[in-house]
Amino acid sequence: MSQNILSIAGTVAIVTGSTRGIGEAVAKRLAEAGASVVVSGRTESDGTEVVDSITSAGGTAKFIQTDMRTPDDIQALIETTVAEFGGLDILVNNAGFETDTAPDEVDIETWDAIIDTDLRAYWLAAKYAYPYLVESDYAAVVNVSSNHSLQTQPKKFPYNVVKAGIDNMTQSMAVAWGIDGIRVNSVNPGWTKVERITESLTDEELAYLDRVHPLGRIGNPEDVGNAVLYLVSELSGFVTGESLVVDGGRTSVLQDDLYLNDHGLSLDD
Q: Is residue 233 part of a domain?
A: yes
Q: Is residue 163 part of a domain?
A: yes
Q: Is residue 206 part of a domain?
A: no
Q: Is residue 210 part of a domain?
A: no
In angstroms, rounded to a whole number, what is the distance separating the alpha carbons of residues 154 and 165?
Answer: 18
Is the pLDDT at 262 greater than 90? The verdict is no
> The domain spanning residue 55 has which CATH number?
3.40.50.720
- Return the pLDDT at 1: 38
Q: Is residue 232 part of a domain?
A: yes
Is the pLDDT at 124 greater than 60? The verdict is yes
Q: What is the mean predicted confidence (pLDDT) over 229-245?
A: 97
From residue 53, how far is each of 37, 58, 196, 219, 238 by CA, in Å?
12, 9, 21, 22, 33
pLDDT tens-digit map of 139-169: 999 999 998 888 888 888 999 999 999 999 9
Mean pLDDT, the chain, whole residue set:
93
Q: Which domain holds residue 33?
A: 3-194+220-253
Is the pLDDT at 258 greater than 80? The verdict is no
Q: At what angle do helices 121-134 and 71-85 cross, to 10 degrees?
A: 30
Q: Is residue 269 part of a domain?
A: no
Q: What is the mean predicted confidence (pLDDT) over 71-83?
A: 98
- Residues designated as active site: 159
In angstroms, rounded to a whole number, what is the distance separating the alpha carbons of residues 25 and 144?
Answer: 13
Q: Is residue 266 part of a domain?
A: no
Is the pLDDT at 176 greater than 90? The verdict is yes
Provide the whole-model pTM. 0.93
Q: How confident is the model at residue 255 (pLDDT cuts 50, 70, 90)?
A: confident
In angstroms, rounded to a whole number, what is the distance separating the alpha carbons of residues 84 and 231?
Answer: 25
Q: How confident is the model at residue 2 (pLDDT cuts 50, 70, 90)?
A: very low
Burial of 67 per CB tally in 10 Å (0-12, 13-18, 19+): middle
Residue 159 vs residue 186, higher pLDDT? 186
Q: Is residue 64 part of a domain?
A: yes
Residue 205 vs residue 227, higher pLDDT? 227
What's the number of domains the chain is made of?
1
